[in-house]
Structure 1
Amino acid sequence: MHFQENTFKASYVMDKSAIIQMLSEYDKTMIQKYQNIIKNETLIIKNDPQLQDLDFINILKVQVIELYSCINTIPKLESKNIKQLKIQDCDIYRLNELQLENLEFLEMYNYNRQYSKTLTQEIAKFLRLRVLRLYGCIVDMSPISQKSNNLTKLFLRSCEIRTTTALRPLVNLEELCLDTNDGVDITSLQYLTTLKKLYLKQCGLINLDALRPLNMLEELNIQENKIVYIQPLLELTQLSKLDARYNNISDSKIIEQHSNFKKSNFILSRISQPTKTELQVANILKSINSPINSLKYLSKQAQNSIYIQIAFKKIITENQQKQNDNHSQFIARVMALIYQVNKSEADQ
């Protein structure tokens, strides 16, 4: 026997113990199992093969639920108490049975990719949602953006996003993460003028022109892209934190010296510059005369210090593990790795 929340409201004359006696044996077991581990109205369930449904949660009156590797489907659940829901590695494929009218925060990791294309249609019914975090899902944002005007924070990491057009209606968005969506077109971000924090790590970006109108932007992460010029950021007078490591930036001094940023105490966070060690490696590489390894055969991008840096750190790590390379072998391995980078670029 399963009870919805309104059933318990109608039974207010009964105390909690009396209501529990009316429940199924399964619900009694689950309540007994979890009622003593609730902290700050938060219930965390991990790796529980016994978990079949969540109706018992209505008795516990929690506001935050976290599920980890413990359930394959969520049956019907109605609750006005639940405000936050986090689901990770649960192979859940439907959310349509959740009636959580006051849900404000939803976070999902590694959603079943077979069904993830319909995920946003089911999320769109949570009209009070303010924070949405999706990791490793294939999503179509159109259903959400049409109904979720309350969204202020949106994380779509590794979700195979190719365009940001569907995000245009999210006029109240203050924080957006599109990390590791390689090849995403960020043109439509120019319309999200309320953004204060923006994360675009590993997106394959070359051009930042779309960010020019984001006058309220305070924090920007553009790590590990293919950006050469960051001059478009000169117009972002509120920008106080920028992480542009692992790019091919050539005009960093322009932005460091700009008067707007001096007045705003602008900090340019660790734009990648070759270290002394990296320069030494680069000089050694240039001295190698082997035709196949000569830098003249490498593209300008592969000659850039960032590829030397990546190769150097990778070989150093391997060297520490093996501890069997002499100096010549070490340099040869670095050179071979950079050559592979160049070849893969040429193949593309």
Structure 2
Amino acid sequence: MAQQAYMTETDNGGSGPERRGARFRRLMNRLVAGWRGDPRIWRRGIVLAALAVILALVMLLHSRIPNRIGNLGSLTETFLPWLGLLIPLLLLLALVRRSATALIALILPVAVWLNLFGGLLTDKTGSGGDLTVATHNVNADNPDPSATARDVAASGADVLALEELTASAVPVYEKALASTYKYHSVQGTVGLWSKYPMTGVRAVDIKLGWTRAMRATVTTPEGQIAVYVAHMPSVRVKLEAGFTARQRDKSANALGEAIADETLPRKILLGDLNGTMNDRSLNAVTAQMRSTQGAAGSGFGFSWPASFPMARIDQIMVQGVEPVSSWTLPRTGSDHLPIAARVNLDTSS
């Protein structure tokens, strides 16, 4: 008898180790103990059920949310994945309220969110590829541009785009990148560095009045590709006007036209577009190009703000080439994370 007591009690008088399965079952029994035989589980939580349905509709019909009032539609689309955080909150409230109706209604937003973003939860990265490209908004106020240049060059990118270059910082970047990249060009506040010859370099007019976009033909061992670099105007959130992005939208349309008019079949766009792939205002670009992160990345690949990334507004997009892998690079002195991708230029195989 004494031996049995020793087996079932610890030194402090508490019960001994308990199997995790038994502990979980006991917790679940406690949660649903008050549900059995309670007809009110279907009448409680009607408001929570309605909120779950509304959440599902917002995610499903986000493209129908008008932009007339403070560009609310684009704002919603910029942070659309984060609406999923409301699902566990509603789940917790449904359990507290002991509402079967709310729990069943939650199936709708879960299904919609998984349909929209479930594919990003899987790792689609592959191996191989012919070309590595990278892009980085280096931030005009970057305290150490030389270190930032070395960091992004260490990514192994064959072609590197930089945005938000200032006149005083350009010589610093040129010096720091000279040993890695034989060819480069800076047009306005954007620049392109390449290990391969560049021709046909010119500024691209995105209707700003100054240069924040460019294109170049890069001649790789696999042939020529058209590389575009762009820095779309910033969006603003104002009390009197809401989420304002009129100039960004105008510039996106101009960039889309330039890419559509490109004669080379293989195209790569690198840059800070100040918008996500879900943002309808970038349709002129996104309708004709693929995101490397969406096609061959792992996770959401958020790039901004660097301190706590919440959105992927920095983009690598392609047409006529096959994305192989896509990823974010370690933080530099910028408020954006650099991003990189590897692509296959030979799509015939």
Q: TM-score, normalised by structure 1?
A: 0.21
Q: TM-score, normalised by structure 2?
A: 0.21
Q: Higher relative contact order by CA 8 Å / sep ≥ 6: 1 or 2?
A: 2
Higher strand share: 2
